[in-house]
Amino acid sequence: MSKTNLRPIIFVIILGVILGGLILSLNKSDSSEESGHTIPGAGIDDVGTEEKIGPKGGKIFTTDNFSVEVTIFEKGVEPQFRLYLYENDKPVSPASGKVIITLSRLGRPVQLFTFKAVGDYLLGDQVIEEPHSFDVAIAAEWQGKVFHWGYSQVEARIEMSEETLVSTGIEIQTAGPAIIKPTIQMPGIILFNHHNIVRVVPRAPGIIVEVPRHLGEQVEEGAVLAVVESQLLADLRSQYLAAQKRLVLANTNLRREKQLWEEKITAKQEYLTTQQLQSEAEITLELAAAKLRALGEAPERVNQLTNLTRYEIRSPISGLITTKAVARGQVVREDDEIFTVVDTSTMYVDLTVYPNNLSAIKLGQQAIIKSTASNIQDSGEISAQ
C-alpha cells in the first residue's frame, strides 16, 4: 500500500485518539457564536493558543500560524456549523484543511460532525440540535500537522442561590446505593368486588305498585327500592292476627276453667280440655309468626300495619344500583332478580400478566391503577382474590 493511501487512515486514527482525549478532559469555559448564539469558553490546544473573536463573529482558535474560526449559523436555516480557516490571520481555501467536531451533551450520545467546503467556509453535515449546551472537541489537519482545541458552551441553564433552593423546596443530595424497582405496565379491566354484589329479589310474589329508585342511583342501606302488593303476604299476616286473637281467647277460657275447677264447680276434664286448646292456640301463633319471619317480616310489626297486602323491598347494603329489571304494574315472583346493588367501596382490577413478567409479580405488592379513559388514578394490592 502506498504512502498516499495510508495518509487518510493515519489521519483518522490520530483524530480519534485526540477527540477521545478531549471529550474526557475538556474544561468548562465561555465561547461565542454567530447569529444570536454566543460561544463563551476557553480553548484547549496543544501549543500557544490565542483566544479572540474572529472576523465572522465566531470563536477563533489559533496554534502557531494556523487558525480555525467556529461559528453557528442559523439565519433562515437550521442551526449549522460554519468554519473558516486562516493562515497568519489571512483566509485560506477551506479545501486546504480537514476538520472534525464532536459535541458531548449530558445524557445523550456523542454527535460527530464532518465538513465539506462550500464557498469560503467548511459546512457541517448535520443540524445542531437545541439546546446549544454542550462540550465541543475540535480536531484539524492542515499541511501535514494535526491541531486540537475544545470549549464548552452553556445555554438554557440557570444558577440558583441557597435561598432559592430552600424556598422552592429543591434538595441536592449525593447519589448513593439504592434498590432499583422495575416498573411493569399491564393492561387490565376494572371489575366489581364479587363479594360485595347483592341481587335483590321479592320476599313474596305480587304486583309492583311503586319504584322510587333508578338505575345508576347511589342508595343507603335500608333504602326503599320498590313497594309490592302481595296476596300471599296478606294471607300470612291475617293468619297471624287471627292466631293472636285465638290465643287471647284461649288464655281467657283457661283462666276461667281453672277457677271453676278449683272451686269444684266443673270437672277436671273440662279444665284439661281448655288447657289443650290454649296450647294449640300458642302453637298456631308460633307457626304463623315463623311463616312471616321466613319472608323477612317482623311479626311484631303486623299489628301496626294499615294495609296488609303491601310490603317494601329495601336495599340490604349501601351501594350503586347496577341492574333494574322492574316497573310499576309488573307481576313478580319470589325468585325474580329485580335489582342488583353493588358496594363500590372496594374494586378489583383483573390484570393480564405476560409470561415474561410472572417472576416479577408477587402477592402483596402495591400497584398503581390508571384509567385510560379519564385522568383517574389509585393504588391497590396484588392478591389472588
Read off the CATH number of the domain in which 10 is found: 2.60.40.3340
Distance CA 48, CA 254 (A): 133
The per-residue pLDDT for 83 is: 95
Does any domain span residue 158? no
Does any domain span residue 164? no
Does any domain span residue 345? yes
Do the bridges between strand 347-351 and strand 339-342 make them parallel or antiparallel, or are there none, so unpaired?
A: unpaired
Domain boundary residue, one of 135, 153, 171? 153
Shared domain for 141 and 33, answered yes or no, is yes
The per-residue pLDDT for 69 is: 94
Shared domain for 9 and 25, answered yes or no, is yes
Does any domain span residue 163? no
Shared domain for 225 and 243, answered yes or no, is no
Lookup: cell for 131: 439546546
Residues across the chain: 385
Shared domain for 104 and 241, answered yes or no, is no
CATH (domain of 267): 1.10.287
Domain ranges, residue 218: 182-230+309-385
Shared domain for 278 and 337, answered yes or no, is no
Does any domain span residue 177? no
What b/e readout covers 52-87, taking b as 16+ CB neighbours within 10 angstroms? eebebbbbbbbbeebbbbbbbbbeeeebbbbbbbbe
Shared domain for 204 and 249, answered yes or no, is no
Shared domain for 31 and 125, answered yes or no, is yes
Domain boundary residue, one of 107, 138, 153? 153
E strands in 55-96? 59-63, 66-73, 80-87, 90-91
Tell me the DSSP string of 187-232: -EEEEE-GGGEEEE--SS-EEEEE----TT-EE-TT-EEEEEE-HH
The per-residue pLDDT for 51 is: 57
Collapsed DSSP state (helix, strand, coil) of residue 349: strand
Does any domain span residue 250? yes
The per-residue pLDDT for 32 is: 38
The per-residue pLDDT for 39 is: 40
Distinct helix (H) and strand (E) counts, the chain: 4, 22
CA 195 distance to own-chain centroid: 25
The per-residue pLDDT for 374 is: 80
Does any domain span residue 132? yes
Shared domain for 239 and 287, answered yes or no, is yes
Does any domain span residue 66? yes
Shared domain for 247 and 199, answered yes or no, is no
The per-residue pLDDT for 222 is: 92
Domain boundary residue, one of 153, 172, 206? 153
The dihedrals phi and psi of 29, each to the nearest 5 degrees, come to: -165, -175
Shared domain for 250 and 383, answered yes or no, is no
Task: Identify the helix (H) or strand (E) that includes residue 240.
Answer: helix 231-262
Shared domain for 74 and 208, answered yes or no, is no
Distance CA 204, CA 229 (A): 9
The per-residue pLDDT for 156 is: 67
CATH (domain of 192): 2.40.50.100
Per-residue pLDDT of the chain (385 residues; tens, 9 = 90+): 555 555 555 555 555 555 555 545 444 333 333 343 434 333 344 444 445 889 999 999 999 899 999 999 999 999 999 999 999 999 999 999 999 999 998 778 888 999 999 999 999 999 998 878 889 999 999 999 999 899 888 776 777 888 888 888 888 888 888 887 778 888 888 889 888 999 999 989 999 999 999 999 999 999 999 999 998 988 988 888 898 889 889 898 888 888 888 888 878 888 888 889 889 989 998 998 898 888 888 888 888 888 888 888 999 999 999 999 999 999 999 889 999 999 988 888 888 888 888 888 888 888 888 888 888 888 888 887 6
What's the total number of domains in the chain?
Answer: 3
Shared domain for 106 and 191, answered yes or no, is no
Collapsed DSSP state (helix, strand, coil) of residue 308: coil
